């Protein structure tokens, strides 16, 4: 006698507290952009992911939706307006009324900082700890006075690269119809005397001695492209601050390998260093840093003199280093890059743009040794058309290959081996056709942005196909000549994708 047993659907209780769901989401996802797919599962997940988002980047295109976004994401702690070019004062007032409790605000790349807007914001954002005002055209001492008075808990302030244009304006940077001059020691002194919690200040003026005498509790120092001081002054400053975690001394052409070797004895707490445009530094500096800085996480040696000398046969592996920017080092060879990636096996970010001495052999060694790479820049490698990617490499999320010689076969390899790819920049890749693009779009299910500008051999008809085929796409820069109609734009936006004009 036989009997049939009907299998009932397995019921799973998923009624977990929100704290548990939040912990699960944090463990599974390492970036807020991944929250979008979860928010579509249910209203419950939508509410949870809204609460988890803490960072928002605002551009000119997203400004009309800002009031709605500020209401939706009520736990935002970090707002970035460095790509915004509109009326900043109204934006600051809007943020001030939002009831957010911000910790960091980036308002860099602005023509002007309105004093009234800063004051209103400071009156409502008493817990703001980081304020970034880099590359502000008319930054003056009076702005520093208002910042010092309005943000008493400020710990980080970036006022680097002010243009100091000496002009008069009825709506000028001090809102009084007069010009009060650029940033001086007086403004910096006001910051140091009123902001007792200041641990980082980014400057581009000749103030080394003033900083030493001020005895600020600094742990980060940026003196990028400063002039008017010598190695002796830099040595004096760094000998005063042994606990610095970040140092940027970009553009110090007088620095030598021996100088860095001498300074490195003060780098025991260093996690990030920027030596870009220090043209006398060679491979020796790289080996000194990786050997003497056990906590070092990020190295920038863009446009230095890497590759000039031979690499030593013995070296010390530094598993802490996660990011290397070695762009525009034309002498860098396969031999050098093989040693570098052997020293830094846990690399996640690597920029080798315009390092034309590296061939397919060097790239294959990179993929073989560095299985953790997530962000790779190989812009302007016109001689490289194809390369092999080891099967273990599956964590690549961003690939920038502008102006490179990559062909369809290389793109097919990327699509096959890098299923987590979310950002792909192929601007100016003349060997790429729609065949290679289709391989990437079909295989990379999380692809969010793709740039095909100046890809003259890619048919513009592929744009609509990409939007329909890959629902995850949020931004497409199409080949030149593509001008979407109004109905097409509505169709693309209904799919959640912004398509720019080619």
338 located within any domain: yes
pLDDT at 183 over 80: no
> For the residues of 162-209, what is the DSSP string, one character each?
--------TT-TTSSSS---S--HHHHHHHHHH-TT--EEE--SS-HH
Q: Can you give the CATH number for the domain in which 269 is found?
A: 3.80.10.10
Residue with tokens 């939002």: 98
Helices 408-417, 434-443: inter-axial angle, 10-degree rounding: 0
366 located within any domain: no
Percent residues over pLDDT 90 in the chain? 38
Cα distance between residue 38 and residue 43, in whole Å? 10
Helix (H, G, I), strand (E, B) or coil at 88: helix
Instruction: Specify the number of domains making up the chain.
Output: 3
Angle CA 337–343–346, to nearest 5: 100
* 192 and 261 within one domain: no
pLDDT at 16 over 90: no
364 located within any domain: no
* 200 and 228 within one domain: no
392 vs 412 pLDDT, higher one: 412
Among 47-61, 87-101, 144-158, 178-192, the minimum mean pLDDT is found in 178-192
* 226 and 200 within one domain: no
Residue with tokens 């998923």: 14
Give the end of a domain, one of 347, 366, 389. Answer: 347
Cα distance between residue 446 and residue 34, in whole Å? 9
pLDDT at 259 over 90: yes
Residue 174's pLDDT is what? 40
Mean pLDDT of the chain: 82
> What's the distance, Cα to Cα, between the start and end of the chain in Å?
73
Residue 185's pLDDT is what? 67
Cα distance between residue 399 and residue 357, in whole Å? 20
Q: Which residues of 357-368 are buried (b: 16+ CB within 10 A; e: fewer)?
A: bbebebbebbbe
Positive or negative: CA dihedral 324, 129, 119, 147 = negative
- Tell me the pLDDT band of 3, cut-offs 50, 70 and 90: very low
Average of per-residue pLDDT across 450-459: 95
Which residues, 6+ apart, have CB-to-CB distance to 35 below 8 Å? 25, 29, 49, 52, 53
* 261 and 206 within one domain: no
- Tell me the pLDDT band of 294, cut-offs 50, 70 and 90: very high
16 vs 434 pLDDT, higher one: 434
Which residues, 6+ apart, have CB-to-CB distance to 162 below 8 Å? 135, 136, 137, 138, 139, 182, 183, 204
* 196 and 57 within one domain: yes
331-385 per-position pLDDT tens digit: 999 999 999 999 999 999 999 999 989 988 888 888 888 889 999 999 998 877 7
Cα distance between residue 364 and residue 356, in whole Å? 15
- Tell me the pLDDT band of 168, cut-offs 50, 70 and 90: very low
Cα distance between residue 3 and residue 5, in whole Å? 6
Phi and psi at residue 24, to the nearest 5°:
-65, -45
Q: For the whole model, what pTM was predicted?
A: 0.74
Residue 63's pLDDT is what? 83
- Tell me the pLDDT band of 170, cut-offs 50, 70 and 90: very low
Average of per-residue pLDDT across 8-32: 56
Whole domain around residue 325: which residue ranges? 219-347
Residue 475's pLDDT is what? 92
369 located within any domain: no
């Amino acid at each position: 006698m036989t009997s049939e047993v009907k299998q009932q659907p397995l019921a799973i209780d998923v009624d977990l507290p929100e704290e548990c769901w939040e912990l699960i989401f944090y463990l599974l996802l390492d970036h807020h952009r991944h929250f979008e797919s979860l928010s579509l599962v249910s209203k419950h997940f939508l509410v949870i992911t809204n609460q988890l988002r803490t960072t928002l980047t605002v551009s000119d295109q997203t400004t009309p939706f800002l009031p709605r976004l500020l209401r939706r994401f009520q736990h935002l702690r970090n707002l970035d307006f460095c790509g915004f070019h509109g009326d900043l004062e109204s934006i600051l007032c809007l943020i001030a009324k939002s009831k957010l409790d911000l910790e960091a605000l980036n308002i860099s790349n602005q023509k002007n900082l309105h004093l009234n807007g800063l004051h209103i914001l400071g009156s409502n954002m008493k817990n703001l700890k980081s304020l970034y005002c880099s590359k502000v055209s008319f930054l003056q001492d009076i702005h520093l006075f208002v910042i010092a008075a309005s943000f008493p808990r400020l710990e980080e302030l970036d006022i680097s690269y002010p243009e100091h244009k000496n002009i008069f304006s009825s709506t000028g940077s001090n809102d009084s119809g007069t010009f009060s001059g650029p940033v001086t020691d007086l403004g910096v002194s006001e910051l140091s005397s009123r902001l007792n919690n200041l641990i980082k200040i980014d400057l581009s003026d000749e103030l080394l001695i003033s900083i030493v005498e001020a005895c600020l509790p600094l742990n980060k120092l940026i003196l990028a492209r400063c002039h008017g001081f010598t190695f002796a002054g830099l040595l004096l400053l760094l000998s005063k601050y042994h606990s610095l975690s970040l140092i940027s001394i970009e553009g110090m052409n007088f620095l030598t390998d021996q100088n860095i070797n001498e300074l490195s004895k003060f780098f025991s707490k260093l996690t990030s260093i920027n030596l870009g445009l220090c043209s006398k530094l060679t491979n020796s500096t790289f080996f000194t840093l990786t050997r003497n800085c056990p906590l070092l996480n990020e190295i920038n040696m863009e446009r230095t003199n890497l590759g000039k000398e031979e690499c030593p046969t013995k070296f010390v592996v530094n598993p802490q280093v996660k990011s290397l920017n070695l762009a525009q080092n034309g002498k860098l060879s396969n031999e050098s890059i093989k040693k570098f990636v052997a020293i830094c096996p846990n690399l996640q970010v690597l920029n080798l743009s315009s390092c034309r001495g590296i061939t397919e052999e060097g790239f294959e060694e990179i993929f073989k040794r560095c299985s953790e790479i997530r962000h790779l820049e190989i812009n302007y490698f016109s001689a490289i058309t194809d390369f092999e990617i080891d099967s273990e490499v599956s964590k690549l999320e961003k690939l920038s290959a502008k102006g490179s010689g990559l062909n369809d076969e290389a793109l097919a390899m990327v699509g096959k081996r890098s299923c987590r790819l979310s950002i792909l920049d192929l601007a100016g890749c003349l060997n790429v056709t729609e065949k290679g693009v289709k391989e990437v779009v079909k295989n990379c299910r999380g692809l969010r942005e793709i740039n095909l500008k100046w890809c003259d051999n890619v048919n513009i008809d592929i744009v609509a196909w990409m939007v329909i085929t890959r629902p995850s796409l949020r931004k497409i820069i199409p080949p030149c000549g593509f001008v979407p109609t109004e109905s097409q734009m509505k169709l693309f936006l209904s799919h959640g994708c912004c398509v720019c004009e080619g």
